[in-house]
Structure 1
Amino acid sequence: MSEAEWTAPPVTWRARERAPALDVRDGWLPAWRRVIAGMAAGALLAGSMPPRSAWYLAPAGVAVLSWAVLGLRWRQRLVLGAVAGLSFFGPTLSWLIDFHPAGFAALLVLEVALFAGAMLLADPARQRWWTVPAALVALEAVRSRFPFGGFPLPGMALGQLDGPFAAAAPLGGSLLVTGLAAGAGAAVTALVVTEQRIRTLVLVATLTAVGAAGVTLAAPDGAPAGQLRAAVVQGGGPRGIPAVRADEQAVTERLFEVSNDLPPGLDLVLWPESSIGVTGPVTDTSEADRVAALARRVGATVVAGVTESESATFRNAAVAWGPDGRILDRYEKVHRVPFGEYIPARGLFEQLSDMTALVPRDAVPGRGPGLLETPAGPLGVVISFEVFFSDRARAAVTAGGRVLLVPTNAASYTTEEVPATEVAAARMRARELDRAVLQAAPTGYTAIVLQDGSIAGQGDLSTPELLSATIPLRTGLTPYARTGDLPVLLVAASALCAVPTRRLLHRRHRPTEV
């Protein structure tokens, strides 16, 4: 205990409620125990992320984080938030080092700054423990939108898919799952270290009962709309090769070779993103003729990822061939990968770093919801990076998609971090929207996910894979599909605004001294 704490005059119960609980120093650095706790909190959060997916580590991490920031002034919360953010994002973004070391460093600095900023929003010094999970919900909401449309990797909710909090996904999506997991951890700390244990216990019990009732009442109301006999194809091949250096023809040939073993009686065949690379529109190319022949031979709709190169741009599309071999519909990717499929402010960033070698051309953004009208039914589509954004999946489902297709390409990465995170995102979209998800990747992970988030089949990395299953088609919308993130964001904002609002009202009604 510091000298200031030993010599401070006694305070009343109400004064103690208003004062910082444990740390009254005005400096920037918190006590070393707090710094170690902040590092441990970030490491626990990282341990809950795919591919490890130890869901219980996230509530434990938030419990440690809540204790670590309890009683700290804003400067110290900022420092401790940066420490925890570095411990969290350092290992979970390390896959970027092989791809672009400077990009990794820049993104890490940004993400750590956002985490530190989130801890500024929390007000645990006044024993309002719920501000910590509310701040983490706000952090996830910001990361899914900023910068350049968002970069939500890793997403805190993606480690919760095998835990109890994922049951809330149809009600409030990944933000609600994050809030519940973080709230559980913060509540444990509140019960242990705060003086208002009875009030905290009553509040936790009330929130638990309301949450359980909400999850029960908000069960998906969708109805079965038949079944779909589907196959997803993975050609296999080497990993760690950027898309601009990949042998496009070799990728295509491997997919055709695996497709020779397609079983009879299929309704749908899904190929990965970038299955076919052509110059100009794919229509009337030899590659299109070969896919048409495959569709006629199998008697099924074939959806394949097509990259159409133009002089200074390219298009990333999912194209559907009907059982008769005709091209029926297409969807062009809307949410492009910044610094992967296009360079924002290209002229500026090319002066700072050599980006042209990795992204020589910008992708043309598509429009509208991802929906393909086919004989197999209306098929929702999100391409690769879009699976991390619930708004794109919601758009596809609300437009009429009865199943969700995810053609993707994670062959650029050498580790399983990104492929495993993509599968987790597909599982989260399945639970949020009550739709089965088919994900196809040229080198993995290819997966079949049922509407409850369970995995019906998953291939390995690099190997040729052919997965098939009969999956349910669904109609109807979950509460989350109807409302999106707005209700959860309003609750989080109310929790964060309650403290400064109460403080302002207290000052206005304080008696004037004469």
Structure 2
Amino acid sequence: MIDDAAPRQASDRRAARPAVPLPAAVSLAVAAGAAWALAAPPRSWWPLLPAGVAALTIALHGRRLRARLVLGGLTGLVLYAWTLAWLTGFAVPGYVGVALLEAAMLAVAVALVPTAGIGRWSGGWWGLPVALVLLDAAQARFPFGGFPLPSLVLSQLDGPFALAAPLGGSLLVTALAATAGVGLAAVFLTRGSRRLVSVGIAAVVVGAPLAAGSAVTTTPTGSLDADVVQGGGPRGLRAVFTNPQDTTDRQYAVAEQITGSPDLVLFPEAVISVPGSIAGSAAESRVADLARMLDAPVVVGVAESQDAGFRNVAVLYGPDGTLLDRYEKKHRVPFGEYIPGRALLERVTDLTALVPRDAIVGEGVALLDSPVGALGVVISYEVLFADRVREAVLAGGEIVLVPTNAASYVTEEVPAIEVAAARLRAREFGRAVLQSAPTGYSAVVLPDGRVVAQTELGAPGLLRETVPLYTGLTPYTRLGDLPFVALAGFTLLAPALAGEVRRRRALQRQCDDRQ
């Protein structure tokens, strides 16, 4: 049985309501997990994130450590069991393991919320937004170098809190949405003048960054007439069970529909497979012929087989058909492009049959130097990581290209997550994003996060849009995540540090009184 409400001082009892009964707290924790799951892509019902925070805040109010841990874990089980169900299409044990791990991470984050200072800005349930910020930061780095697909922030692209993304990225957006939720909870939890103060503080904390973030702009330098290619085809098939040439031919069948001479043509990730390097191959001749015919630069995703594994590459060909530049993917997909602990897993599972060789970690900067400008590029999974796009923009990228491949997934969740991530990166860095996938979603995203064109899943499609090029750096591009992680950590520790200072002063006074 989990602990009941923690004791509070008389002043706190007057300022805040008592803890809700334990059955009600459990129901609220379950409701919070369900609300966050419904907020996630592809539904993207953004108000449900702050609503879920409000429910969890009320559930946690006045609870001891063990109770907070259990309630947080319960919220996580509901959230991740729902939103990660697409993993069952790959391996049920993997789904169970990842869902439990993510639920445990949420439980730990919630347990960090202090009980001291209920009804005060410095502690208590006001610590929940900070804990969720640290959870967001942790998911971008752990496990396997980061697994941010269940990130709460991806629900917020159609809501007002995304306006702050250029100022502080996903961490600030998460903090504002969660603070708004705590403000809602304060209406129920606090009494008298304390209610007005709490709600007012929440409004100021949320409103000021939104106003500042909405004023951040980058500098337009021109535009591109771009074509994004999607060949279409069956979904839910792993690459090892498909004919690579069929995938290639479907992309070219759509590319043949391109008219005139665009400024840029973008193909999806790994739609050409070659032994060794693409340089000098028949596949290269085909791409070069297309570039010469259109008199346009072409960026195409290539899987290059090597003795040590394979390279996942975005290759740029110039209008004259010459190979101008290439970018090799750095952040690989665990259990998709490489098997963590392969030597051990090969003894206990046949999962390695789906990924017979590991991708080789790429080198170099995420940038393609093209005749039409500096093209930032991140490949597929990398769009979920702000640091990869930040590298591209800091290197001079005036637009971001995302060749991707989500054809292995039967359902809509992962393609929708990728589009949400592309929209978030566009807002964070003030750059348009072109995303090309063989079976969807391909999309064109403006720097303000608006999707101006998007294909259907599984269907062939050709998107042709004029998109802006931008220079200049947003505050988030300059700062990155570190200042916000440090601030969140300090804010969470502040009540404990203040309590220790008060304890030492009390001891010192006692010593002085005895002398």
Both structures adopt the same fold (TM-score exceeding 0.5): yes
Amino acid of the residue matched to residue 391 of structure 1?
A: D
Residue ranges of structure 2 left out of the alignment (5+ in a row): 119-123
Task: State how far apart, in whole Å, the 1-side matches of 2:389 and 2:136 are.
Answer: 17
Q: Once the 2 structures are TM-superposed, how far is the Cα of residue 124 of structure 1 from its aligned partner?
A: 4.5
Counterpart position of 1:315: 311
1:434 aligns with 2:430: yes
Residue ranges of structure 1 left out of the alignment (5+ in a row): 24-29
Counterpart position of 1:244: 240
Decide which moves more: 121-130 or 69-78.
121-130
1:256 aligns with 2:252: yes
TM-score, normalisation: structure 2: 0.93
Counterpart position of 2:212: 214
Decide which moves more: 340-349 or 54-63.
340-349
Task: State how far apart, in whole Å, the 1-side matches of 2:255 and 2:426 are.
Answer: 26
Q: 1:293-312 to 2 correspondence within 5 Å?
A: 293-312=289-308
Q: 1:324-343 to 2 correspondence within 5 Å?
A: 324-343=320-339
Amino acid of the residue matched to residue 104 of structure 1?
A: Y
Q: 1:8-407 to 2 correspondence within 5 Å?
A: 12-13=10-11, 21-22=18-19, 31-124=22-115, 126-127=117-118, 128-195=124-191, 196-216=194-214, 219-220=216-217, 222-407=218-403
Q: 2:351 aligns to what SS in structure 1?
A: coil
Q: 1:304 aligns to what SS in structure 2?
A: strand
Task: State how far apart, in whole Å, the 2-side matches of 1:202 and 1:294 are.
Answer: 60
The answer on whether the counterparts of 1:71 and 1:126 sit within 8 Å (CA) in structure 2 is no
Q: Once the 2 structures are TM-superposed, how far is the Cα of residue 130 of structure 1 from its aligned partner?
A: 2.0
Task: State how far apart, in whole Å, the 2-side matches of 1:205 and 1:311 are.
Answer: 58
Counterpart position of 1:26: none
CA offsets 1:111-153 (integer angstroms, 9 cap, x no match): 0100100111112553233200110011110011001110001
Change (3 A) 1:84 1:316: same
Amino acid of the residue matched to residue 134 of structure 1?
A: V
CA offsets 1:278-323 (integer angstroms, 9 cap, x no match): 0000011111100000000001000000000122400000000100
The answer on whether the counterparts of 1:78 and 1:116 sit within 8 Å (CA) in structure 2 is yes
Change (3 A) 1:209 1:82: closer
The answer on whether the counterparts of 1:66 and 1:124 sit within 8 Å (CA) in structure 2 is no
Q: Once the 2 structures are TM-superposed, how far is the Cα of residue 332 of structure 1 from its aligned partner?
A: 0.2
Amino acid of the residue matched to residue 110 of structure 1?
A: L
Q: Once the 2 structures are TM-superposed, how far is the Cα of residue 20 of structure 1 from its aligned partner?
A: 10
Q: 1:200 aligns to what SS in structure 2?
A: helix
Task: State how far apart, in whole Å, the 2-side matches of 1:210 and 1:129 are.
Answer: 21
Q: 1:129 aligns to what SS in structure 2?
A: helix
Task: State how far apart, in whole Å, the 2-side matches of 1:489 and 1:194 are.
Answer: 29
Change (3 A) 1:443 1:209: closer
Q: 1:103 aligns to what SS in structure 2?
A: helix
- Please provide the CA RMSD for this pair: 1.9
Change (3 A) 1:14 1:86: closer
CA offsets 1:12-71 (integer angstroms, 9 cap, x no match): 326877x99427xxxxxx822111111100100111111001111111010001001111
Q: 1:72 aligns to what SS in structure 2?
A: coil
Residue identity over aligned pairs, in percent, reads 52
Amino acid of the residue matched to residue 500 of structure 1?
A: A
Task: State how far apart, in whole Å, the 2-side matches of 1:72 and 1:93 are.
Answer: 29
